[in-house]
Structure 1
Amino acid sequence: MDEIPVAQRKVNTTPQNKPFPFSIFLALGSAIITMSLFWLFSQTQSSQSQQQDTPSVTASETVSDNIPTTENNPPSSDTVEIPENILGHLGYEQAPMSELKPITADGRIKLRTKAAEKFLEMQSDARREGITLVAISGFRTIDDQEYLFFNIKEQRKQETSKRAEVSAPPGYSEHHTGYAVDIGDGNAPATNLNTNFEQTAAFRWLEANAAKYSFELSFPEDNLQGISYEPWHWRFVGDTHSLETFYKARELKTNLQPQM
């Protein structure tokens, strides 16, 4: 009897895969993490370097660029500070009598010592050129000015504001300082203390030479104090004290408004 054939089963001879070693997996993971960290670090450094090279603009800087600062653009103002004055005249202190020196032979007219010396020098130099400068008035006390302002105003029946155009109220005259002098032409006395003095040889000489001796015209035409033109009235500005004394008058930027 034939034998019953035995079923032939194909036996898989492929070797089974062995499990992946855990130590290798761990090493690969560590390497990947290390490379990732290195890449992130390099990107961070690059970003910081770019920020350092490029200045950052803050919100405050942006706003300040658009809004003008008061330092560069000071606020404009239509108001101008007006020095204290009475009817256009500035206040002056009376010079000490001990600081005065005569400029006339009779000793009646005086100026502060420095101003007196310069006036006498100017007068002498002018005489050598045929010009006779005459001192008409110099230092005045407040009492002197009281008479000249109020008494003369009453005698001439002048309004106070009208009188102030040609004479200062007491305490407000440049003559109190001992630096101011009224000058006339000895060859044309009829022009003393009036605007015709500007037509004399003495005035023309003063215009050309007075600055050499540190004298300047106090009230030129259209002066900002609003005082009438006085071609005979000159003041000394040849030392620190005299400059300080007349600083407000010399630095006026606008017409004085009469104050009472």
Structure 2
Amino acid sequence: MDEIEIPEAIRENIELPKKSRLTLSLPLIIGIIFCLGVAGLFSMFVLSPKPKSAPQTVKQPATQPRSPQQETAPQNPQTVSPPQEKTPTKPSKGDLLGHLPYQVAPQESLAPITADNRLKMRSAAASKFKQMQTDARAQGVILVPISAFRTAEAQEQLFFGVKEQRVQDATKRAEVSAPPGYSEHHTGYAIDLGDGNAPATNLETDFANTAAFSWLKENALKYSFELSFPPDNDLGVSYEPWHWRFVGDRDSLETFYKARN
């Protein structure tokens, strides 16, 4: 039996219409365009240089009030005074040519400090001086008393007599000697000292270079003696390294320090 040829089934390939790539990527393109637009606007308004305006100068008033927290001494011209030259402060009550008035000590209050009884001081001062002199000698230092208590008559001769001999005016003489009635020697508490090993320095500023003066600087206060006229003293009296005074009791302290007030 003859085979009957059955024809193959003819498959019809029907192509479905493909979506355009442009259609599929359109939203993406729109998004990109949108982003680029935003970026462009951002660049224009933010990143683009701004026009510079001319600087404005704001003038401050000459004096601008400040709060207390802002004020400092150097910045406040009203509270800062210009430096002034320092001048000696001299007593303004009762002084004469820079010297203060002192009462003459009564004779009965005095005691000798030398073997010949020629030089005397108040009893308390005399006792302390002799003790100081003994202690200094034990250390090889010889304290020689040159002058101690002095009457008004003796001071008058020392001031006016020497002034005439040296042809000095009163102001110049007062730099190295007090007028009568104004000498610390009247009180019986003052003493002029020399160095027994260097007599050439007696009553000279060179006394400050002696062993005696060095010892006094270190030890005089232990016996209540102090230098009356140090360098640049307030009274304006010349430096006298030899002139010392006793301030070891109430009367001596009041004598010298009340006189300044």
TM-score by length of 1: 0.65
Partner residue of 1:127?
A: 137
Q: 4+ residue runs of structure 1 moved beyond 6 angstroms? A: none
3-state SS in 2 of match to 1:234: strand
CA deviation profile, 1:51-98 (whole Å, cap 9, x unmatched): xxxxxxxxxxxxxxxxxxxxxxxxxxxx99723200000000000000
3-state SS in 1 of match to 2:226? strand
Q: Distance in 1 between matches of 2:146 and 2:184?
A: 15
Cα pair 2:90 2:235 within 8 Å, conserved: no
RMSD of aligned residue pairs (Cα, Å): 1.5
Give the partner amino acid of 1:124.
T
Which residue type is aligned with residue 241 of structure 2?
P
Q: Residue deviations 1:4-41, cap 9 Å, x none? A: xxxxxxxxxxxxxxxxxxxxxxxxxxxxxxxxxxxxxx
| Structure 1 runs not aligned, ≥5 long | 1-78, 253-260
Match 1:152 to one of 150, 159, 162: 162
Larger CA Rg, structure 1 vs 2? 2
Q: Does the residue aligned with 1:241 lie in a helix, a strand or coil?
A: helix
Aligned: 1:116 with 2:130: no
Q: Deviations over 1:211-257 (max 9, x none)?
A: 000000000000000000000000000000000000146x67xxxxx
Equivalent pairs, count = 173
**Structure 1 residues 4-153: aligned runs within 5 Å:** 82-153=92-163
Give deviations 1:114-165, integer Å, cap 9, x for gaps: 0000000000000000000000000000000000000110011001100000
Please give the secondary structure, in 2, of the residue aligned with 1:140: coil
**Equivalent residues of 1:83, 1:248 under 8 A apart:** no
Aligned amino acid, residue 213 of structure 2 = F
Name stretches of at least 5 consecutive residues in structure 2 with no aligned partner.
Answer: 1-88
Give the whole-Å Cα distance in 1 for the aligned partners of 2:166 and 2:239: 20
Letter in 2 for 1:227: V
Secondary structure of the residue aligned to 2:242 is strand
Quick check: 1:220 aligned with 2:220? Answer: no
- Which residue of structure 2 lines up, in the alignment, with residue 210 of structure 1? 220
Letter in 2 for 1:152: V
User: Secondary structure of the equivalent of 1:148?
Assistant: helix
Which secondary structure does the structure 2 equivalent of 1:86 belong to?
coil
Q: Are 1:191 and 2:198 counterparts?
A: no
SS at match of 1:224: coil
The answer (yes or no) to whether the contact 1:115–1:236 under 8 Å persists in 2 is yes
Alignment match of 2:249 (pick from 225, 235, 239): 239
